[in-house]
Amino acid sequence: MQPFVYNGLPSRVVFGRGTLSRLSEELAHLGCSRALVLATPQQQQQAQDVLQQLGDKGVGVYANAAMHTPVEITDDAMQVVKELDVDCTIAIGGGSTIGLGKAIALRTGLAQIAIPTTYAGSEMTPILGETRDGEKTTQRTLDVLPETVIYDVDLTLTLPAGMSGTSGINAIAHAVEALYARDGNPVIALMAEEGIAALARSLPVIANDLSNVDARADALYGAWLCGACLGSVGMSLHHKLCHTLGGSFNLPHAETHTIVLPYAVAYNAPAAPQAMMRIQRALGCDDAATGLYDLGRAVGAPSALSELGFGINDVDKATAMATRNPYWNPRDITVDGIARLLSNAQAGLRPQSERGEAL
């Protein structure tokens, strides 16, 4: 066995059905009593319900969280934090809301409780991505890791089919990259394969039966595992591409991850054969890239970046940005290779894992 380093992350996880009822108990565990509830505009009512549940431990709602965590939104939220003398935040929603909670924590040191309602996985990572002047940058620091995560399966039962599928495959992307991360280790590899398998078997069921509680629980379990993987090891090509497309082209987060993942896997396949074997075993397929592509079709997800408004004329600009300061990757990053990858993803061509040299 190769030597490795494993760092466990200091977060508390409460998982089950009806666990939202334990929120006040978890606030007390953190020693907090003036909580600001965060949400997107679409989930404002849900945030108001949480505020009501908190009683005098809740001081307000800020429901302007936005995709890709724009710094101007964070600056606005900071004014509310100061005005209300907040001592912690409670983020209920997906990656946009949880990202805002992280951005506030980075600036204030306030404790966080995250209550995810999608499968994105941001709640389990010490990673913050922020967008300023049309460019998204990321940083990794324990200062943004939520202290407590409450997973309540019941909160996912109303998640629409489309978002269930794309946020689930977004979670799978975290585990996929963990399998060939430079700082990977056997513990994370086990979690990654189990997380991929749990989501791969549950997402098609959910696509046909939104109220299937067993499948919902399996998917949320898989999302937790995949998020923990991303939180423990580094990111590679797939995440660099998605950060570029999201931050600079304003493409929707989960859908972009879903579309790009099979092509990034196809690109990296020659350099990461052991990771490909684990992905194939988890998916129950013979080729990792096509297996991921087919999973997207099984859950009704978009298959081409063109469906999100990314044009063929955008490929050169995106390629230049993604290759300017690339993340570490198991396979060398080339301008021609990334341009071809993005062109294929723009058109939605069926991918096939590479067996030879660079694209």
255 Cβ contact partners less than 8 Å away, ≥ 6 residues apart: 166, 301, 302, 308
- From first to last of its 359 residues, the chain has per-residue pLDDT tens of 678 888 788 889 999 999 999 999 999 999 999 999 999 999 999 999 999 999 999 999 999 999 989 999 999 999 999 999 999 999 999 999 999 999 999 999 999 999 999 998 899 999 999 999 888 888 999 999 999 999 999 999 999 999 999 999 999 999 999 999 999 999 999 999 999 999 999 999 999 999 999 999 999 999 999 999 998 999 999 999 999 999 899 999 999 999 999 999 999 999 999 999 999 999 999 999 999 999 999 999 999 999 999 999 999 999 999 999 899 999 999 999 999 999 999 999 999 887 654 34
Partners of 257 in the β-ladder: none
pTM above 0.85, yes or no: yes
Strand 12-16 with 88-93, pairing: unpaired
Give pLDDT, residue 359: 40
Rounded to whole angstroms, the Cα distance separating 333 from 268 reads: 10
Rounded to whole angstroms, the Cα distance separating 230 from 183 reads: 11
Q: Which residue has the tokens 């020659």?
A: 270
Q: Which domains occur in the chain, in start order?
A: 12-156 (3.40.50.1970), 161-347 (1.20.1090.10)
Coil/strand/helix, residue 353: coil
**Helix or strand run (H / E) with residue 62:** strand 58-62
Rounded to whole angstroms, the Cα distance separating 157 from 334 reads: 43
Starting from the edge strand earliest in sequence, which strands make up the sheet with 35-38, in order?
12-16, 148-152, 111-116, 88-93, 35-38, 58-62
43 Cβ contact partners less than 8 Å away, ≥ 6 residues apart: 63, 92, 93, 97, 117
DSSP codes, 143-155 = GGS-SEEEEEGGG
Two tokens, residue 330: 């198991």
